[in-house]
Amino acid sequence: MKFIIGNWKSNGDIDKKDSMIKSLKSVKTNNKVILCMPFHLLGGGNSVVEIGAQDISLYPNGAYTGDISGQMLKESNVKYVIVGHSERRKYHNETNEIVRKKSENAIANGIIPIICIGESETDKKAGRTMSVVKKMLLDSIPKQGDFIVAYEPCWAIGTGVIPTTNEISAVHETLFKALSKIGRDTTPILYGGSVNPTNASEIMSINNVHGVLVGGASLKYDTFLPIINAAK
């Protein structure tokens, strides 16, 4: 079983969601398929696909204009939430500490956080990938509770450029070892960044890759379905 998680980002509307959910309904798969939708499209789903969220407030219910609390997500039947996506870190200045607190907030509400980490192009060029991702991992994860990790190199997101198989394998091994050391060796570790129907199968055959986080290719049934089917 692999995790195939779509991230619609700030895209989509009710018609597109309905049509995707309807099309996926008859798909036969043993994989865990989740589509993380913008807030106005939360709820629904079917036996094949669950609907997740893309962010959660740092705070409980209260005077936090514009924030969606963990309790609100729970009420919308959300079981998974992306936290610390590189676009949140970049455009909303989310630090590892904020990501960790959001993850803990999700867990407190019975929601599994999908914690994103990944090096920048500058980090990669400077040969710092391993130390950067390891620190991001250890500083962003909750003290207790289940979570999922998504390794998403920033330079691979939306660019069509992906790391080599060896590079993905090396990073996932580093993450797996770091998690094992703290007794979290069953944590799923996903790869994300320019996953498409052509590269999905090879990526998911790499050791310690337990699924994929898919942006652009999750928006259309024609490109999302082959990725679901690519997972063995």
- Contact set with ligand PGA (CB under 6 A): 7, 152, 157-158, 192-195, 213-217
The CB-of-117 to ligand PGA minimum distance in angstroms stands at: 12
Q: Tell me the catalytic residues.
A: 85, 152
Q: Where are the alpha helices (DSSP H) in the chain?
A: 14-24, 70-75, 86-91, 96-108, 121-125, 129-140, 165-181, 200-204, 221-230
Which residue do the tokens 């939430």 mark? 81
To ligand PGA, the closest distance from the beta carbon of 160 in angstroms equals: 8
Coil, strand or helix at 190: strand
| CA proximity to 124, closest of 84, 170, 81 | 170
- Nearest to ligand PGA of 168, 214 (CB atom): 214
Shortest Cβ 60–ligand PGA spacing (Å): 27
Q: Please, what is the minimum distance in Å from the beta carbon of residue 123 to ligand PGA?
A: 17
Residue least distant from ligand PGA (Cβ): 215
Q: Which is nearer to ligand PGA, 89 or 100 (CB)?
A: 89
Which residue, 159 or 205, has its beta carbon nearer to ligand PGA? Answer: 159
For residue 183, the one-letter residue type is G
Nearer to ligand PGA, 68 or 154 (CB): 154
DSSP codes of every residue in 140-187: HS-SSS--EEEE--GGGTTTS----HHHHHHHHHHHHHHHHHTT-TT-
